[in-house]
Structure 1
Amino acid sequence: MKININNRSYEAVVGERLIDVARKNHTHIGYFCGGNGLCQTCYVRVTKGMDLLSPLSDREKALLSDTLIKEGTRVACLTTLDKPGTLELLTTVEEVKRMVESRPQDIVAYQAKMGWEALIKFPDTVTMQARRFAEGKLDTWELVTDVITAIGDAIALTVRTLQRGWDPSEPGKTFKRQYAHEHNLEQNAIEQASLTKKEPAEKQNLPEALRIDQKAPVN
């Protein structure tokens, strides 16, 4: 099946988690906790094909507010592909990146909104995570390993992005400040050069002993 993440198309199979599809294709998605449903950085907003995904689990309901759910938000590490078809989604980290690049004035309001939605669900989130730990469903060693792996993947993704975005053979344009007096000096130099290209007739007729070399040192 086809899955479109951040306007890029990838192949996926039924049963895969959204986080796994994103990670294997090195797309821009958050996963600091390694896909254990802790860090809440792998939020995605589904714009097409919501019916192709697994139903909202109790863990997702404990993390997502009603507002975020209505907007099509899912937790990528807790959501799997249930049916074949075409799916389109935008990751939260990519959405923030685009906002900073095109509408930086909206970022404060966006952060305030996401902070508020997280605060609303904070009691449910804490209760759910505590229950997981008490029931032995949260493997500490596996968590640490996944976090280390996630950090390594993030560093590798950053390096690849920098390599694609910057080519040493094509240096970017540099800005050079030029002041008015510098511009006048430059213009005068150009005019002086044009005047000295051809020597005046009277100078050409002077005896060699009386002619002054233009490159003669000045004491």
Structure 2
Amino acid sequence: MIIYINDKPCEAQVGDLLLNAAKRNKSHIGYICGGNAICQSCFVYVLEGADCLSKPGEDEKAFISDQLFAESGRLACRTTIVKEGTIRVLTRAEKFRRIVLGLNVPGFITYAQTIGYNVTTKLPSGVSSIVSRVQTGRLNPVDTVGKIASGLGPASQLAMNNFIETFPFMQMPLDMAGNAAKGALDTASGALCSVSGGRLHLPGSTCTTHDKPAESIERITISTK
């Protein structure tokens, strides 16, 4: 079946989490916490097909206010496709981008008020939910940290993509800055390797010294009488 995330058609099937369907189709919904339902980065607005999705569970209710539920808000990491049908969702990041592009000042004010209200009213229940899940073993802190680490890359990429789509004229300056930064890292990494005599590389850098094939070593056998 086809679902629509930010108007992009995505292949999905019954039983899929909205978050996983988005990831498979490179239409990433934010997921800073790695899909552990301890943040709202995967928040989406269900524009159509709410009846094709699972009902909100306790994890979602702990983080989403009645006001946002009334606007068909859901956490994609906890929302499963339960039957086929037309499903359209809009991510929070995309909704914000469209408000900015449309210079919709009243819409921006309403959006900010709604998000602010949700944060202030649901923070206690959200924290309580996390503590309860840790105590009952439904949330593993070590596993959670690992998922957060793996989710940072795609989440930052999503933010960058949204930024470039909103301000396309910034693409070239960002590329130039990125290339300059990588060049500086590569140079520094090579210098560190030379000084240390080993493989002391910086994160995100390469080292031309160690990219070359290793030189063969001539071995000499010395014997004594």
State which structure, 1 or 2, has the greater radius of gyration over its C-alpha atoms. 1
Report which stretch shifted further, 91-100 or 25-34. 25-34
Structure 2: unaligned runs, 5 residues or longer: 173-225
Match of 1:133 in 2: 134
Separation in 1, partners of 2:110, 2:161: 31
User: Could you tell me which residue of structure 1 aligns to residue 44 of structure 2?
Assistant: 44
Work out the CA distance in 1 between the residues paired with 2:114 and 2:122.
13
| Equivalent position of 1:124 in the other structure | 125
Equivalent-residue separation in structure 1 for 2:58 and 2:47 (angstroms) = 22
CA, structure 1 residues 135+112, in 2 after alignment: closer, same or farther (shift >3 Å)? same
Q: Aligned letter for 1:7?
A: D
The CA distance in 2 between the partners of 1:124 and 1:157, in whole Å, is 28
Shift of 1:123: 2.4
Which SS does the other structure have where 1:81 is aligned? Answer: coil
Matched length: 167
CA drift at 1:136: 1.9
Q: Which residue of 2 aligns with 1:200?
A: none
TM-score, L = length of structure 2: 0.67
Q: CA deviation at 1:57?
A: 0.6
- The SS at the match of 1:46 is strand
Distance apart, 1:56 and its partner CA: 1.2
Q: Which amino acid aligns with 2:108?
A: I
Partner of residue 23, structure 2? 23
Q: Residue type of the partner of 1:136?
A: G
Partner-residue secondary structure (3-state), 1:86: coil
The Cα offsets for residues 37-66 of structure 1, whole Å up to 9 and x where unpaired, read as 112111111111101101111111121111
Stretch of structure 1 that moved more, 102-111 or 116-125: 102-111
Gaps of 5+ in 1: 169-219
Q: CA RMSD in A?
A: 2.2
Q: 2:187 is matched with which residue?
A: none
CA distance in 2, matches of 1:155, 1:129: 24
User: Structure 1 residues 11 and 125, CA, compared in 2 at 3 Å: closer, same or farther?
Assistant: same
Closer/same/farther in 2, CA of residues 93 and 159 from structure 1, 3 Å limit: closer
Distance 1:40 1:80, change over 3 A: same
Query: Deviation at 1:131?
Result: 0.3
Q: Does 1:73 align with 2:88?
A: no
Task: Check 1:94–1:159 CA distance in 2 against 1; reply closer, same or farther (3 A cut).
Answer: closer
The equivalent of 1:144 in structure 2 is 145
Corresponding residue number in structure 2 for 1:54? 54
Offset, 1:109: 3.5
Change (3 A) 1:112 1:158: closer
In structure 2, relative to structure 1, the CA distance for the partners of 1:91 and 1:157 (3 Å cut) is: closer
How many Å separate the matches in 1 of 2:64 and 2:161? 32
DSSP 3-state at the match of 1:19: helix
Aligned to 2:154: 153
| Cα distance in 2 between the residues matched to 1:59 and 1:144 | 18
Is the 1:28–1:93 Cα contact (8 Å) retained in structure 2? Answer: no
CA distance in 2 between counterparts of 1:121 and 1:158 reads 24
Counterpart Cα distance in 1 of 2:96 and 2:158: 17
